[in-house]
């Protein structure tokens, strides 16, 4: 199957739906990957790296939306609805409960839409949401430590303390994936 990867269009969205390693995985499964030029640049992946991995670099978004399946990160915005056609497979974060217009566009154009965030494992975990919760949780501790610095508006304390000076008190509300990862990176910070 031919799989298209557009460059993300939402403001400040610097992720991309595939890495060069992902391209070579799909190639070896017998599929062709067509990626919009510069789609990976903000994540540090050049067109050249995708080309070497076996992807075809396409000049415009319209070119990659013509493929049988499109993979992206964020839900399509209104200007992308025109690319929908009957039978297209779309695989991305969609959050359709909060997106009435997108939902009706997908239904009326008869798109097969598979949402990352509702893929669910037997243990009721959300495997395609988990890595982003892990990122947010680990970031939370490092962000919190940073904003406790005086120039950033904080109390002016070093969260880890030093010998002879107590460390800061941290409370994490919620012990799921986010909270556990916040705690994990917190304990790393405290050892620094």
Partner 1 sequence: MTILDTNPVRLRELDELFGNQVTTVMSNPVSIHENVIDSDLVIGAVLIPGAKAPRLVRESTVQLMKAHSVIVDVAIDQGGIFETVDRVSTHDDPTYTKHDVVHYAVGNMPGAVPRTSTIGLSNVTIPYAAQIANDLEKALLHNVNLRKGLNTYRGQITYEAVATAHGSKYEPFAAV
Across the chain, which distance is largest between two alpha carbons, in Å?
Answer: 67
- Interacting positions 153-182 with partner 1 (CB under 8 A): 153-157, 159, 168-180, 182
Site for partner 1 contains 120 (CB under 8 A): yes
| Rounded distance between C-alpha atoms, residue 130 and residue 126, angstroms | 6
Site for partner 1 contains 116 (CB under 8 A): yes
Of the pair 54, 179, the CB lying nearest partner 1 is at 179
Task: Name the nearest CA neighbour of 159 among 182, 129, 130.
Answer: 182
Q: Residue 147: which residues within 8 A CB-CB, separation 6 or more?
A: 153, 154
**Signed CA dihedral, 77, 79, 80, 81: sign only:** positive
CB of 71 to partner 1, least distance (A): 6
The binder of partner 1 chosen from 100, 151, 163, 164 (CB under 8 A)? 100
CB of 148 to partner 1, least distance (A): 5
| Rounded distance between C-alpha atoms, residue 89 and residue 6, angstroms | 14
Burial degree of 55 (CB within 10 A; 0-12, 13-18, 19+): buried
**Active-site annotation, residues:** 95
Of the pair 65, 91, the CB lying nearest partner 1 is at 91
Size of the site for partner 1 (CB under 8 A): 95
| Rounded distance between C-alpha atoms, residue 57 and residue 80, angstroms | 19
CB of 48 to partner 1, least distance (A): 16
- Interacting positions 2-61 with partner 1 (CB under 8 A): 3, 12-19, 21-22, 25-26, 29-31, 40, 42-45
Site for partner 1 contains 79 (CB under 8 A): no
């Amino acid at each position: 199957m031919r799989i298209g990867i557009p460059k993300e269009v939402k403001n400040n969205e610097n992720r991309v739906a595939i890495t060069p390693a992902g391209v070579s995985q799909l190639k070896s499964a017998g599929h062709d990957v067509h990626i919009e030029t510069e789609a990976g640049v903000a994540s540090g992946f050049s067109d050249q790296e995708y080309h070497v991995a076996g992807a075809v670099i396409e000049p415009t978004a319209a070119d990659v939306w013509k493929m049988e399946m499109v993979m992206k990160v964020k839900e399509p915005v209104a200007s992308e609805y025109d690319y929908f056609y009957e039978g297209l497979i779309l695989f991305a974060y969609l959050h359709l409960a909060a997106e009435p217009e997108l939902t009706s566009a997908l239904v009326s154009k008869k798109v097969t839409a598979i949402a990352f965030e509702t893929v669910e494992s037997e243990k009721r975990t959300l495997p395609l949401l988990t890595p982003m919760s892990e990122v947010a949780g680990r970031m939370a501790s490092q962000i919190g430590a940073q904003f406790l610095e005086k120039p950033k508006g904080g109390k002016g304390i070093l969260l880890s303390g030093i010998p002879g000076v107590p460390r800061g008190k941290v409370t994490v509300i919620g012990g799921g994936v986010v909270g556990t990862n916040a705690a994990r990176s917190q304990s790393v910070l405290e050892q620094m």
